[in-house]
Amino acid sequence: MPPTDPPSPYRSKTLAAWLALVAGSFGLHRIYLNGWGDKLAWAHVPLTTLGFVGAERMSNLGQNDPLAWVLVPLLGLMLSQAMFFAIVYALTPDERWDARFNPGQPGRATRWGAVLAAIAAMLVGGVVLIGTIAFSIQKAFETQMGSSQTGSER
C-alpha cells in the first residue's frame, strides 16, 4: 500500500479572524492558514516595520519629517488590510471555509467568537482607515500649500 499523507490540521475560522485582528499586519493570519512558506505573509513584516519606523520618526522629529509622511500611511494601510481580512474570514460561510481550508474534514459550526472578531475589526479598521486617509490628505494639502507659498514669495 502506498503511504498516505497525514491529514492537514483543522484551521479555525475564528482563530484566523482573531489572528488577523491582533497580528494581521505582520501576516500571522496567513502563516496560520498557509504555513511558514507563504511569501506574501513574510512581505507583511518589512512593510509594517517601516510603518512603525515612520511613527517613531514622527514621534521623535515631529510632523515636518517628509519620510514619516510616507511611512506612517504605510502602517495605516497594513493595519487596514489586516482588519479587512479579519472581517472576510469571520463572515465567510462555514461550508465555504471548510471547503477551502479544511477539505475532507468534518465541519465545525462557528460560534460568536468570529462575530465578535468581525465587530472589533470593523471598529478598529474604520478608525485606522479614516485616520490614514485624513493624514495623507492633510500632508498632501500642506505640501501643495508650501510649494505654492514658496513660489509666490519669489
Its pTM stands at 0.84
Task: Give the range with max mean pLDDT: 8-17, 102-111, 116-125.
Answer: 116-125
Q: What pLDDT is attached to residue 153?
A: 54
pLDDT at 6 over 80: no
C-alpha cell, 68: 514619516
Q: What pLDDT is attached to residue 143?
A: 82
Angle formed at CA 103 by CA 13 and CA 24, multiple of 5 degrees = 30
**pLDDT, averaged across the chain:** 90
Q: What pLDDT is attached to residue 145?
A: 84
Round to whole Å and give the CA distance between 19 and 121.
11
- In percent, the amount of the chain with pLDDT more than 90 equals 71
Round to whole Å and give the CA distance between 103 and 85.
21
pLDDT at 148 over 90: no
pLDDT digits (tens, 9 = 90+) for 20-71: 999 999 999 999 999 999 999 999 999 999 999 999 999 999 888 889 988 9
Going from the C-alpha of 40 to that of each of 110, 118, 124, 129, the distances in angstroms are: 27, 23, 23, 21
HEC string for 89-101: HHHCCHHHHHHHH
